[in-house]
Structure 1
Amino acid sequence: MDQRVKPAPHEIRRARADNPKTRERDLAAQLGISEAELVAAHCGDGVVRVEPRVNDLLTGLEAVGEVMALTRNDSAVHEKIGVYEKVVSGNHNAMVLGENIDLRIFPKIWAHGFAVEKRDGGDIRRSLQFFDAAGEAVHKVHLRPASNLYAYQKLVAELESPNQESTVAMSEGSISESGLESEAEASAAAADVNDLRDRWSRLTDVHQFFGMLKTLKLDRRQAMRMVGQDYAWLLDNGAVSAMFHHAAEGEMPIMCFVGNRGCIQIHSGPITSIKPMGPWINVLDETFHLHLRTDRIQEVWAVRKPTKDSHVTSLEAYGADGKMIIQFFGKRHEGEGEREDWRFLAENLPRIPGPTAA
């Protein structure tokens, strides 16, 4: 964000009126403000501030019925249509484990919330939008024609904040990273390759991976570069697009993770309709939409992690900032081995030669 004087709320509203078709995220960037500040400027004019009480939100959303859940980062947008069901509450971590909507949430990152109404011709589009302390979107819930409007309005009333000011205080960089990129900054210089390989070989669950990195004070890419090509290997940047097309052709069910520091959203199932458009590759299926900026992919890794059920293979794309953009697995359930078709695909995507660990 630049250092120019930020526009006042009335100036933001005028800019919105002058640019009705510009996406909120893009307009905010043009104005030198966060998306949360753009939304807040409309409080009292189709926008109501709500408290980001994540557990109350999640338990209340089930009654709203079918909605569209949206989680994004700078380079990927993940949209799922379904119901918020099988909610697991928690102050540090919360989950939604529904058939279609599958989320891993870090509530302490959620700092600002808004209920938004926008006129679209003769219709009104309604959504709940949540942001972190820096004003970056962490999660949005969009109503659909089948949504229960009464339950939604009741939930908004329950979450409504006493503070309805049209400005929000930003605190960039004040919150430590969580989600897909929660590893602390670390130096690989002191790490021992043999120790890393030994610990990696003794993993029995993919969820132990972060703990291993934390113990060794490594981030993901440092560990992957060190561990050797029997566990992690660099792929051509076109590997993600190739995977999409092969998975669609083979009707292969996959798991697709997109997240930010406040929320990770997961699709589990096949993908069918793949539509490239400029730098974007899009999945446009009935209950799953994905929009991925392939030109922002700096590295793609295939990563093999041992489990008690043999091993699983992930495909991970990273941006120039070193943060993970998107991650894929073959669809599997706890206690099941990895799908052979997914493993074959991941192991045969085009590689970039790299060093072999000692």
Structure 2
Amino acid sequence: MRAFVITGPGHAEVQEVEPPMPGPGEVVVEVERAGVCGTDMEFYSGAMTYLHTGEARYPVRIGHEWAGVVREAGDGVDPAWLGRHVTGDTMLGCGSCARCLGGSQHLCADRYEIGVRNGWPGALAERLPVPVHALQPLPGTVDPVLGALVEPGGNALRAVNAAALDRGDRLLVIGPGTIGLLAALMAAARGVEVHLLGLTEPSLDFARSLGFTRTWTGRPEPAFDGVIDASNGRDSPALAVEVVEPGRRIVLIGLSAEPSRIDTRRLVLGDVTAHGILSASGGLAGAVELYASGLVDPRPLVAATVSLEEAALVLAGPRRPEWGSAPKIHIDPRLPG
């Protein structure tokens, strides 16, 4: 089968590789869509932390935001899964440690991460092996485009839930990328007043096209009932602490390439809770429900869908003018090169 393989920093190609065979408790999914995110771009550039800690190494087959159809089932898998449209969890815990048994398999020290950690192949390929327990079924109203947005949506939903906001509360989202905009859409669906802080006018123009008129490029003035930092800005977490109301929460889901510093005196004296979010685990079903109900429509976030052969161009950063300012690019492995 065809698969996109990163062989080193700045080097990648589509290769013919052996198709996966389902092991016990596993299925093989025919991939219909896969999203590209900042983590994938870091693998391509060589900046990804796991490359330096030994948790990942080249060659890497990326892709952890995906949707497809179950085509093969291994021993012990209910045949009823065959032909079903699915997406799935990125985090694959060992299943036997205290964290896994306690419901936190996404924090398992020995976990695989699809397309990211410990060599589990990703979804930028025609077929993908997945443990059946990680599958999330998709209803008929959630097509492959929406299905490939479930994983980032699960992250965003967990961030919104962690902010613990009520209708009419004011939320500041720092970073109008895919996760930030999904969080904004989900919070707005709950009646939250959403403000967005970004660096560039084009990104905020796109946010405004989605109906978010309260936007900032400089330091925002009001105090907010919650702040979600979905950016990669080194100083954003400190800003979040400064502008959140005392007694409320900041949620940190973005990661800076450099260490971020927070004055913990502000946390203590403001009785502020800081909540970190790792992965969509626990948020996938809720994201599917929001998409299926129509309360949240993330389709406008997808700028384009391209082939595997065009993935390297996407990862390198340049954007075609016709793509506009929408943040997400999808790959369809079935498209000809």
TM-score range, shorter chain: under 0.3
Larger Rg: 1
Normalized against structure 1, the TM-score is what?
0.22
Normalized against structure 2, the TM-score is what?
0.22
Q: Which has the higher strand share?
A: 1
